[in-house]
Chains A and B, each alone.
Chain A
């Protein structure tokens, strides 16, 4: 297990450098000049332009800029935003809890509903439940996210008035956010109604963000279960006289979990990378929205630093998934 972890960690090194190069090059290849964008409508004089370029270091050769960037990374410095003048890392950690909170809620909802739905569909293969669940999943999977979000807002927020339209909490409440997780902070604040407000703000974004992973997990669980249900060891379990619930839920599901864990891992990766559309529609102050805003401003340092952080998180999630495989299937544990 230890050597397995070590080998996986070593593969991080080339991936990490690859990401730095891509992130560095990607934002610079985009047309648009950050200084001009910063200057706005009024424009900027050539002298002032050169002065700013020198200040941001744009006057030096590309490779020098790249190595300065890499050098900074190893000192834990991802640069400073041109716009807000704050360190990129500080901004990231200020916004990441919002994304994480939403992602955790969404993936929990997707797993809690998706796996049982897949199991029920597989066990009732070809019957009404199977058809109903799988057609619903297909609809969920194919639906454009922004349209679905707007539809929910129209029905539940403006129509029925059950949920708020956007943000993380009602403006009536104001308190410190030591953890950055609104659910925890609102509870700790002790203010009446704050927690309920935080939850009500979470409901719609969670549903929207969970829809596609939910559909994928349900479909993957179903197909993995169908495969496993035909295995000899499931017959053995039935020959013991075990109840169907134990056979499906313990003997079959545990074996079926391996492909399901893969898609859950991939979904978590995408969700953490910032649910760009969802965060934008619900004005959710997470890293997805932050990255989009920074790309529009050509805020080089923020984009390359943010991409690097996101890529690192996705790599860590993938590693966790690989470790989970071993825990679920002892055969893989040996390596």
Chain B
């Protein structure tokens, strides 16, 4: 049985100008010890789907799903109290902005020990020792001293390490890292990613890495789910995805990687992710897709099979060439 199973997750926000669907029928499956990435541009709903899982969305959000289970428990059925016992203990999350994600009024030590006090039976002394152990684990020098530091006394990289220490406090089964390196210096980015991968290997927890950086994905994860405008458009093991992307969006993302560029000018994807008022009728990617035809613009595509990377496309690519769908046509 999978550790995390989400089927057909949708999230709608009530806005002043009507409902906005940020996540549209997304599936996520994570096994124990899995290492997967969710990739997509800004506004593709990758953070929102994970925040929905954590129960961290504001009350304006309406969450619907056919299945949403974690470790055999149906997250849609349990009480908020029971959910709070899972969130923060078995599922942890770290965020994009480490500096603002720590509470400026409390010491780092207090914030780490808080989780332990809430979710474990450790004594005061044991909690302190565990906090020191965690700080050492995430590579913070002089951990004893740093426990009594306030967040503004830490650098961005150190703050993110402290956030990771907090997230790992209760030995979670699943860690969700929401663009953990976006706000950091390039040199620090690599260190934090390495740390996350190393911790994933040593603790055996599952890790979902949310990112928009294909370069990060290539180096780190096993499996990639590509999201576009709230939909999962493709999912493949990382090597297959890089060798043979099936969805034109994935192909375009990969082509835009500087290290893959063959010409003087870097290829780009024209246009932007559709918003609330300019959602296309057919395939959501059709206005920006260079293979799109009249059918793409009129009809909503059906998902392809695993062999074609679950591509949500009328003409999934194979070795860069659009193929007519055998399963539907």
In contact, A232 and B105 (Cβ under 8 angstroms)? no
Contacts of A231 in B (CB 8 A): 100
In contact, A242 and B84 (Cβ under 8 angstroms)? yes
Closest to B88 in A: A241
Interface residues of B in 126-175 (CB under 8 A from A): 150, 152, 163, 166
The reply on A251 being an interface residue by CB < 8 A is yes
Closest to A334 in B: B152
- Assign chain A's interface to a size class: 10 to 19
In contact, B92 and A239 (Cβ under 8 angstroms)? yes
**Residues 49-87 of chain B, each 1 if its beta carbon lies under 8 Å from chain A, else 0:** 000001110000000000000000000000000011111
Of B92, B95, B104, B106, which is within 8 A of A235 by CB?
B95
Interface residues of B in 12-66 (CB under 8 A from A): 54-56
In contact, B101 and A242 (Cβ under 8 angstroms)? no
The reply on A199 being an interface residue by CB < 8 A is no
Interface residues of B in 90-133 (CB under 8 A from A): 92-93, 95, 97, 100-106, 114-115, 118-119
The reply on B246 being an interface residue by CB < 8 A is no
Closest to A240 in B: B88
Contacts of A328 in B (CB 8 A): 105
The reply on A238 being an interface residue by CB < 8 A is yes
Contacts of A237 in B (CB 8 A): 103
* Smallest beta-carbon distance B121→chain A, Å: 15
Interface residues of A in 212-270 (CB under 8 A from B): 231-233, 235-243, 251, 254-255
In contact, A235 and B105 (Cβ under 8 angstroms)? no
Of B115, B150, B152, which is within 8 A of A240 by CB?
B115
Contacts of B83 in A (CB 8 A): 241
* Smallest beta-carbon distance B83→chain A, Å: 8
Of B84, B97, B104, which is within 8 A of A243 by CB?
B84
In contact, B114 and A240 (Cβ under 8 angstroms)? yes
Closest to B169 in A: A240
The reply on B89 being an interface residue by CB < 8 A is yes
In contact, A240 and B101 (Cβ under 8 angstroms)? no
In contact, B89 and A329 (Cβ under 8 angstroms)? no
In contact, A236 and B118 (Cβ under 8 angstroms)? no
Contacts of B92 in A (CB 8 A): 239
In contact, A239 and B87 (Cβ under 8 angstroms)? yes
* Smallest beta-carbon distance A261→chain B, Å: 13
In contact, B95 and A330 (Cβ under 8 angstroms)? no
* Smallest beta-carbon distance B93→chain A, Å: 5
Of A236, A251, A254, which is within 8 A of B163 by CB?
A236
A254 to B104, CA, bound (A): 10
A254 to B55, CA, bound (A): 24
A175 to B150, CA, bound (A): 53
Of B105, B118, B150, B152, which is within 8 A of A242 by CB?
B118
A99 to B192, CA, bound (A): 59
A254 to B97, CA, bound (A): 21
In contact, A241 and B152 (Cβ under 8 angstroms)? no
Which of A236, A330, A331 is the most central at the interface, judged by chain B CB atoms within 10 Å of its CB? A236
* Smallest beta-carbon distance A325→chain B, Å: 11
Of A236, A329, A331, which is within 8 A of B101 by CB?
A236
Closest to B55 in A: A238
In contact, A235 and B85 (Cβ under 8 angstroms)? no
Closest to A330 in B: B150
Contacts of B84 in A (CB 8 A): 241-243
A172 to B87, CA, bound (A): 64
Contacts of B55 in A (CB 8 A): 238
Of B93, B106, B152, which is within 8 A of A239 by CB?
B93
* A239-B56, A240-B88 known; A233+B114 contact, CB < 8 A: no
Closest to A238 in B: B56
In contact, A255 and B105 (Cβ under 8 angstroms)? yes
* A232-B95, A330-B152 known; A239+B103 contact, CB < 8 A: no
In contact, A233 and B102 (Cβ under 8 angstroms)? yes
Of B56, B104, B166, which is within 8 A of A331 by CB?
B104
Closest to B86 in A: A241
In contact, B93 and A241 (Cβ under 8 angstroms)? no
In contact, A255 and B114 (Cβ under 8 angstroms)? no
Which of A231, A237, A238, A240 is the most central at the interface, judged by chain B CB atoms within 10 Å of its CB? A240
* Smallest beta-carbon distance B208→chain A, Å: 14
Contacts of A243 in B (CB 8 A): 84
In contact, A241 and B118 (Cβ under 8 angstroms)? yes
In contact, A255 and B103 (Cβ under 8 angstroms)? yes
Closest to A252 in B: B103
CB-based closest 9 A-B pairs: A241-B88, A240-B88, A241-B84, A233-B103, A232-B100, A330-B150, A241-B87, A232-B101, A254-B105
Which B residues contact A (CB, under 8 angstroms)?
A: 54-56, 83-89, 92-93, 95, 97, 100-106, 114-115, 118-119, 150, 152, 163, 166
A to B CB contacts below 8 Å, 23 in the list: A232-B97, A233-B101, A233-B103, A235-B101, A236-B101, A236-B163, A238-B54, A238-B55, A239-B92, A240-B87, A240-B115, A240-B118, A241-B85, A241-B88, A241-B115, A242-B84, A242-B114, A251-B103, A251-B106, A254-B103, A254-B105, A255-B103, A330-B104
Given A240-B114, A240-B166: 9 more A-B contacts, CB < 8 Å: A232-B97, A233-B100, A233-B103, A236-B101, A236-B163, A241-B89, A242-B88, A242-B114, A255-B105
